[in-house]
Amino acid sequence: MHAYLAYLAKRIGQFLLVVAIGINLAYAITHLTPIDPVEQSVAAVTSYGNAAPDAINQMRQSLRELYGLAGSPLQQYATFWGRVLHADFGPSLSAFPTPVSTLIWRALPWTIGLLVTSTLIAWACGNYLGGLASYYRKSRTLKAVGIVAMMLHPIPYYIVALILLILFGYVVPILPVGGGAAMNLERGFTFDYIGSVAAHSVLPVASLVLVGIGSWFLGMRSLASNIVTEDYVAYAELAGVERSRILQSYVMRNALMPQVTGLAMSLGAIFNGAVITEKVFGYPGIGTLLIDAVYAGDYSLVLGVATISIVAVSAGVLIIDLLYPLLDPRVEAV
């Protein structure tokens, strides 16, 4: 038990470190770059013609406050952390006067749903197929799966999403390609609404799974093919243990732990993929919110989404880390 607590403390410490460095990074980007966002906005407004100096000064003042640039550097830093800790980034400029946090809480469930579904499907299928491929080396079908996985894995999410969009949006238009659900439906736990949400998520989930499955497949195949040659596997085979049991409990079980660690390590990259995939399909999650906020020049929304993403992803990694001892008997025992 003592060891588990130590493990717990270490993981939570790492989580806090990630959040601290991430938030400081966001602070550095917005405050320490030589470009002054206030002067840029002022220049953009004044370039359309002459304005009263009074009005410009007032605008400069309120913009400074909004961007958290008022006061001494130390005060600015404190303001910044205060905003992050309260998850209060002020009102959104593009959807005035809705607070940024409301917009983010509205979008977050969509992103989490998309990410969890696609990651679980990709991880489970990739690992299972990879284990099969390492054990049944001669199978032609599994070799073909391996080649497809190798071809799909290195392609960025955007390209795969774009190709699916073209295929199922223009060439064979059988699936909805925009939004999170049909516009004309009332939100709620009705059959129609849930069906529509499911139909709209098919393409985003499919593109995330297609890219994601490859790395789990290839990782599991190479991990498990080293295990397949171990003596204890040969012994189990000679002892007449069922092949499916050897594969699942003897081979894949042992290769699974590095794959869980791998999941924690690649969560950030998967999140990046989800952001752009959402934008391609106009899915109403965090990614679409972020990119549209940039186009709209909505500073507080961009900053809010960026910091919340850092916190959310590191929280996801923490959850996987905390589940790890439940899956690995060796950590539990000590």
CB 85 within 8 A of CB 70: no
Find the shortest distance in angstroms from Cβ 134 to other proteins: 11
Find the shortest distance in angstroms from Cβ 117 to other proteins: 18
From CA 133, how far away is CA 250, in angstroms rounded? 15
Q: Per rule CB under 8 A, is residue 6 in the interface with other proteins?
A: no
Q: How many helices and strands (H and E) does the chain possess?
A: 14, 0
Question: Under 8 Å CB-to-CB from 83, ≥6 apart: which residues?
Answer: 68, 89, 90
CB 293 within 8 A of CB 107: no
Is the dihedral angle over the CA atoms 189, 195, 198, 203 positive or is it negative?
negative
Q: Of 153 and 185, which has the nearer Cβ to other proteins?
A: 153
Q: Per rule CB under 8 A, is residue 33 in the interface with other proteins?
A: yes
Q: Of 56 and 218, which has the nearer Cβ to other proteins?
A: 218
Q: Of 167 and 199, which has the nearer Cβ to other proteins?
A: 167
Residues 262-281 touching other proteins, rule: CB under 8 A, are 264-265, 267-269, 271-272, 275-276, 279
Q: Per rule CB under 8 A, is residue 222 in the interface with other proteins?
A: yes
Strand partners, 91: 99
CB 259 within 8 A of CB 127: yes
Find the shortest distance in angstroms from Cβ 207 to other proteins: 13
Q: Which of 1, 2, 5, 35 binds other proteins (CB under 8 A)?
A: 35
Q: Of 39 and 242, which has the nearer Cβ to other proteins?
A: 39
Place of tokens 């309120």: 62
Per-residue b or e along 270-282, where b marks 16 or more CB atoms closer than 10 Å to that residue's CB = bbbbbbbbbbbbe
Q: Per rule CB under 8 A, is residue 79 in the interface with other proteins?
A: no
From CA 321, how far away is CA 11, in angstroms rounded? 7
CB 279 within 8 A of CB 288: yes
Q: Write each residue from 168 to 207 as x if it is in contact with other proteins (CB under 8 A), else as -, in one continuous string.
A: --x-------------------------------------
Footprint on this chain of other proteins (rule: CB under 8 A): 14, 17-18, 21-22, 25-26, 29-30, 33, 35, 37, 40, 150-151, 153-159, 162-163, 166, 170, 218, 222, 225-226, 229, 264-265, 267-269, 271-272, 275-276, 279, 290-291, 294, 299, 302-303, 305-306, 309-310, 313-314, 317
